[in-house]
Amino acid sequence: MPRGIVSKLRQKSPWVMHVPCGGCNGCDIEVVAALTPLYDLERFGALQKGSPRHADILAVTGPVTAQVKERLKRVYALVPNPKIVMAIGSCAISGEVFADGYAFAGPLDQIIPVDIYVPGCPPRPEAIIHGVAQALTRL
Amino acid sequence: MVNRQTITESIRGFISPKTLAYPSQPSPPPEGFRGKPEFDSKKCVGCGACAQTCPMGAISLNDGLERSIRIWYGKCSFCGRCQDVCPELAIRLTSEYELAVFDKNKASTDIEIDFESCSSCGKKFFPAPQLERSFERMKPILEKRNISNEELRILDRVCPSCRERPEEFSKRKLFLLNFG
Amino acid sequence: MIPSNISSVAFYILQPFFGFIVGALFYWVFRKVRARLQARRGPPWYQTFADVTKLLFKESITPLIADKTIFFLAPMLAFTGYLVVLLQLPVGNVYPPFAGDLIVILIFLTLPGVAVILGGSGSGSPYGAIGSSRETALLVASEIPFIISALVTGIQVKSMNILRIVDAQNQFGPMAFHYPLATAAFFMCMLLKLGRKPFDIPDAEVEIIAGPYTEYSGSLLGIFEISNALRWFVVPALAVNLFFAGGLANLLVFLILCLIVVVVISFLDAQNSRYRIDQAFTFLLTWATLLAVIDLVRASTGWLQW
State the virtual CA torsion across A118, A120, A125, A129 in degrees, nearest 10.
-20
> Cβ(C196)–Cβ(C272) under 8 Å?
no
Average pLDDT rounded to a whole number, residues A4-23? 88
Query: Left if phi > 0, otherwise alpha if psi is -120 to 50, otherwise beta: which for A45?
Result: left
Which residue ranges does chain B devote to CATH 3.30.70.3270?
31-113
Contacts of A17 (CB under 8 A, 6+ apart): A48, A49, A50, A51, A52, A54, A55, A57, A58, A59, A79
The Cα–Cα gap between C125 and A51 comes to 12
Q: Does B100 touch chain A (CB under 8 A)?
A: yes
- In this prediction the ipTM stands at 0.90
Q: Is B123 helix (H, G, I), strand (E, B) or coil?
A: coil
Position B13: which residue type? G
> Cβ(A11)–Cβ(A137) under 8 Å?
yes
Chains A and B: how many Cβ contacts under 8 Å? 84
Q: Report chain C's mean pLDDT, rounded to a whole number.
A: 87
Q: Does A82 touch chain C (CB under 8 A)?
A: yes
Q: Which of B1, B10, B18 sits opposite C37 (nearest CB)?
A: B10
The pLDDT value given to residue C23: 95
Beta strand A15-20 pairing with A47-48? parallel
Pick among 3.30.70.3270, 3.40.50.300, 3.40.190.10, 1.10.10.60: CATH of B31-113: 3.30.70.3270
Q: Which of C46, C50, C59 sits opposite A81 (nearest CB)?
A: C59
- The HSE-up count of residue C109 (CA atoms within 13 Å, CB side) is 32
Residue A1 has pLDDT above 80, yes or no: no
> Cβ(C285)–Cβ(C144) under 8 Å?
yes
> Cβ(C55)–Cβ(C223) under 8 Å?
no
> Cβ(C201)–Cβ(C275) under 8 Å?
yes
* C contacts of A1 (beta carbons < 8 Å): 53, 57
* B contacts of A115 (beta carbons < 8 Å): 102
Q: Does C49 touch chain A (CB under 8 A)?
A: yes
Q: Which of A1, A40, A54 sits opposite C217 (nearest CB)?
A: A54
Beta strand B91-93 pairing with B59-63? unpaired
* B contacts of A63 (beta carbons < 8 Å): none
Closest CA to C118 of C60, C202, C200: C202
The pLDDT value given to residue C76: 93
In eight-state DSSP terms, residue B118 is P
Closest chain C C-alpha to B25 CA, distance in angstroms: 15
**Sheet of strand B108-117: strand arrangement:** B59-63, B66-72, B108-117, B124-127
Interchain pair B98, A127: CB under 8 A: yes
> Cβ(C288)–Cβ(C190) under 8 Å?
no
The Cα–Cα gap between A19 and B111 comes to 36
Closest chain C C-alpha to B26 CA, distance in angstroms: 18
Chains A and C: how many Cβ contacts under 8 Å? 84
> Cβ(A35)–Cβ(A43) under 8 Å?
no
Q: Which of A37, A90, A109 sits opposite B77 (nearest CB)?
A: A90
Q: Which of B22, B23, B74 sits opposite A94 (nearest CB)?
A: B74
Residue C135 has pLDDT above 80, yes or no: yes
The pLDDT value given to residue C1: 47
Closest CA to A89 of A70, A65, A108, A102: A108
Residue C237's pLDDT band, with cuts at 50, 70 and 90, is: very high
* B contacts of A130 (beta carbons < 8 Å): 23, 98, 100
Helix, strand and coil content of chain B, in percent to the nearest 5, comes to: 40, 20, 45
Position C42: which residue type? G
Count, residues in chain B: 180
Average pLDDT rounded to a whole number, residues C7-31? 90
Closest chain C C-alpha to A5 CA, distance in angstroms: 10
Residues 218-237 of chain C with CB under 8 A from chain A are 218, 221
Closest residue in chain B to residue A87, using alpha carbons only: B100
Domain that holds residue A80: 3-138
Model confidence, pTM: 0.89
Q: How far is CA B103 from CA A92, B73, C243, C281, in A?
A: 14, 12, 60, 53
Work out the number of other CB atoms within 10 angstroms of the CB of residue B141.
10
The pLDDT value given to residue C2: 55
The pLDDT value given to residue C207: 60
Residue A2 has pLDDT above 70, yes or no: no
> Cβ(C34)–Cβ(C270) under 8 Å?
yes
Residue C59 has pLDDT above 90, yes or no: no
Count, residues in chain A: 139
Chains B and C: how many Cβ contacts under 8 Å? 31
Residue C4's pLDDT band, with cuts at 50, 70 and 90, is: low
**What CATH code is carried by the domain that includes residue A24?**
3.40.50.12280
> Cβ(C262)–Cβ(C236) under 8 Å?
yes
Kindly list the averaged pLDDT for each block of 10 residues, start to end, along chain B of length 180: 81 84 85 88 87 90 88 90 90 89 88 85 84 84 78 79 82 78
Closest CA to A120 of B38, B93, B75: B75
Summarised one tens digit per residue, pLDDT across range C145-171 is 999 999 998 888 888 888 888 888 888
Residue A6's pLDDT band, with cuts at 50, 70 and 90, is: confident
Rounded to 10°, the helix C47-56/C8-37 angle is 110
Contacts of A125 (CB under 8 A, 6+ apart): A30, A31, A33, A34, A38, A39
The pLDDT value given to residue C39: 87
Neighbours of chain A (3+ CB pairs under 8 A): B, C
Interchain pair B102, A138: CB under 8 A: yes
- Name which of A16-25, A117-126, B90-99, B120-129 the model is least confident about: B120-129
The Cα–Cα gap between C210 and C203 comes to 5
The tally of domains found in chain A comes to 1
Helix, strand and coil content of chain C, in percent to the nearest 5, comes to: 75, 0, 25
Q: How far is CA B37 from CA A109, B78, B175, in A?
A: 24, 7, 42
Q: Which of A6, A49, A53 sits opposite C57 (nearest CB)?
A: A6
- The HSE-up count of residue A2 (CA atoms within 13 Å, CB side) is 3
* B contacts of A123 (beta carbons < 8 Å): 97, 99
Q: Is B111 helix (H, G, I), strand (E, B) or coil?
A: strand
Average pLDDT rounded to a whole number, residues C28-39? 91
Q: How far is CA C79 from CA A60, B25, B56, C23, C115, in A?
A: 35, 42, 56, 13, 9
> Cβ(C178)–Cβ(C94) under 8 Å?
no
Closest residue in chain A to residue B73, using alpha carbons only: A119
Interchain pair C214, A53: CB under 8 A: yes
The pLDDT value given to residue C210: 76
The Cα–Cα gap between C211 and C135 comes to 9
Residue C208's pLDDT band, with cuts at 50, 70 and 90, is: low
The pLDDT value given to residue B162: 82
Position B103: which residue type? D
Q: Does C87 touch chain B (CB under 8 A)?
A: no
Q: Does B19 touch chain A (CB under 8 A)?
A: yes
* B contacts of A62 (beta carbons < 8 Å): none
